């Protein structure tokens, strides 16, 4: 067992964990932060994407011990003062989700894109989200939502 201290969505947690415990299972099973789901076991789907010290990571591919001393932001920490993040609003307004299972990871990945590239082209959005799979939407409305969240005019 290894002692770790991780700040998740603004709250600091200290825990003893097995060195092999995945960050996503630490979030879900130990902290009860189930907003971040698991969609695969090969780091293909991106459903578990979170922010680790300003970088997006797939939390199924990071050990909890690697997050020791770090700050993690999940989908559950995005809304501020009861106000949704612009991407959360845009996903809702553009019907960019159906079952919603990929949505937390999709939003976290899109947030990273908009930090790096505040006014992306549709093609840049598609490439930035390549590591996040959605089975319901065919991606078109996700692309529209990300463009809308970046403040660009988007045909409905």
Partner 1 sequence: MTGATEREVGRARLRKEDARLVTGQTTWTDNIQVTGLLHLAILRSPMAHARVDRVDVSPALERPGVVAAFSGRDLAEGLGSLPCAWPVTEDIVLPDHPPLAVDEVRYAGDPVAVVVARDRYAAADALEAIEVDYTPLPPVLDLEASLAEDAPLVHADKGTNRCYVWPLATGEDYASVKERADVVLKRRYLQQRLIPNAMEPRAVVVTPLPASGEYTVYSATQIPHILRIMLAMVTGVPEHKLRVIAPDVGGGFGSKLQVYGEEAIALTVARRLGRPVKWTESRSEGYLATHHGRGMIQDVEIAATREGKLLGLKVDLLADMGAYLMLVTPGVPILGAFMYPGIYKMDAYDFTCTGVFTTRTPTDAYRGAGRPEATYAIERIMDELAVELDLDPVELRRRNWIRHEEFPYPSVAGLTYDSGNYEAATDKALALFGYDDLRAEQQKRNERGDTVRLGIGVSTYTEMCGLAPSRVLGDLRYGAGGWEAASIRMLPTGKVEVVTGTSPHGQGHVTSWSQIAADVLGVSFDDVEVVHGDTKAAPQGMDTYGSRSLVVGGAAVHQAAVKVVAKARKVAAHLLEASEDDLEFAGGVFSVKGSPEARTTIQEIALATFSSHDLPDGMEPTINAEHVMDPENFSYPHGTHLCAVEVDTETGRTTIRSYVCVDDVGRVVNPLIVEGQVHGGIAQGIAQALYEEAVYDDEGNLVSGTMADYLVPSAVDLPDFVTDRTETPATSNPLGAKGVGEAGTIAATPAVVNAIVDALRPLGVTEVAMPCTPGRVWQALKEASA
Which residue ranges make up the site for partner 1 (CB under 8 A)?
Answer: 18, 20-21, 25, 28-29, 32-42, 44-45, 47, 74-76, 78-79, 84, 88, 91-93, 95, 97-104, 107, 122, 125-127, 129-143
Q: How far apart are CB 5 and partner 1 at their closest, in Å? A: 22
Give the position of tokens 């307004």.
93
> 20 or 81: whose CB is closer to partner 1?
20
DSSP state of 48: T
> 69 or 142: whose CB is closer to partner 1?
142
> 29 or 53: whose CB is closer to partner 1?
29
Beta bridge partners of 17: 2
Q: Beta-strand (E) ranges in the chain?
A: 2-8, 11-17, 49-52, 55-58, 71-73
Give 112's contacts (C-beta < 8 A, 6+ positions apart): 51, 55, 56, 128
């Amino acid at each position: 067992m290894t002692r770790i201290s991780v700040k998740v969505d603004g709250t600091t947690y200290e825990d003893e964990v097995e060195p092999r415990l995945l960050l996503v299972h630490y979030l879900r099973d130990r902290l009860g932060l189930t907003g971040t789901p698991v969609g695969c076991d090969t780091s293909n789907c991106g459903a578990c994407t979170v922010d680790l010290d300003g970088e997006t990571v797939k939390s199924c591919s990071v050990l909890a011990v690697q997050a020791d001393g770090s700050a993690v932001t999940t989908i559950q920490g995005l809304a501020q003062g009861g106000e949704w993040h612009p991407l959360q609003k845009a996903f809702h307004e553009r019907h960019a989700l159906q079952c919603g299972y990929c949505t937390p990871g999709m939003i976290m990945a899109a947030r990273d894109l908009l930090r790096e590239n505040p006014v992306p082209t549709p093609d840049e959005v598609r490439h930035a989200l390549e590591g996040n799979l959605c089975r319901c939407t065919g991606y078109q409305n996700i692309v529209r939502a990300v463009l809308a969240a970046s403040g660009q005019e988007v045909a409905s």
